Amino acid sequence: MTAVLRPQCLIAPITIADLQAVLDIENQAYPFPWTRGNFIDSIAAGYLAQLLRGQDGRVLGYFVAMKGVDEMHLLNLTVAPAEQGRGLARRLLEEIVLACAAQEASRLWLEVRESNARARGLYLHCGFREIGTRRGYYPAPYNRREDAVVMALDVSKAGGHGLD
């Protein structure tokens, strides 16, 4: 049996004061990152925007999710590239599932780049199902577009207590 040791982390709302650290991670992680305006608009709209801080106070990752009627839509989940592979994305997903249960959202939706096998694998491992494709959803290099895989998690089956 193996165990994954997770560092002690703090989940907290993203504030305007946190945006530079969030943008630094966003720009390191993606060739087509969200802008400062995207994050400000999400916070202003009241979306669930949380970050994960390490014991030293550094921002390690974050997510933004939008509440809908009886559902939640995950818009962005990112872990700093230097911190990936330590269970932090799963920790953030667990927090989103708990928020879904607290807000009586029975389903969690997301889109993920078709080429992002690592993220797709994590989502599948956590109980998401691939349910469709959005053609040309994401920008891609050379003025091209990349398909998104639409995935969903039945939060009621996740038990509202986190992921299996």
Q: How would you write the pLDDT of the chain (164 residues) with one tens digit per residue?
A: 344 445 578 999 999 999 999 999 999 999 999 999 999 999 999 999 999 999 999 999 999 999 999 999 999 999 999 999 999 999 999 999 999 999 999 999 999 999 999 999 999 999 999 999 999 999 998 889 999 999 999 998 765 555 65
Would 78 be classed as within a structural domain? yes
| Residue numbers of the domain that contains 75 | 10-158
**pLDDT confidence of residue 9:** 86
Rounded-to-integer distance, Cα 130 and Cα 36, Å? 30
Spatial CA neighbour of 98 closest among 35, 33, 163, 22: 163
**pLDDT confidence of residue 2:** 40
Tally of domains within the chain: 1
**Which residues belong to the active site?**
111, 123
Which residues does residue 61 pair with via DSSP β-bridges, in sequence order? 52, 79
Contact predicate 125/91, CB 8 Å = no
Would 164 be classed as within a structural domain? no
Would 120 be classed as within a structural domain? yes
For 45, the token pair is 């709209």
Residue 141 belongs to domain with CATH number: 3.40.630.30
**pLDDT confidence of residue 141:** 86
Q: Is 22 in a helix, a strand, or coil? A: helix
Would 1 be classed as within a structural domain? no
**pLDDT confidence of residue 7:** 55
Would 5 be classed as within a structural domain? no
Would 3 be classed as within a structural domain? no
Which residues does residue 73 pair with via DSSP β-bridges, in sequence order? 66, 109
Q: What is the pTM of this model?
A: 0.89
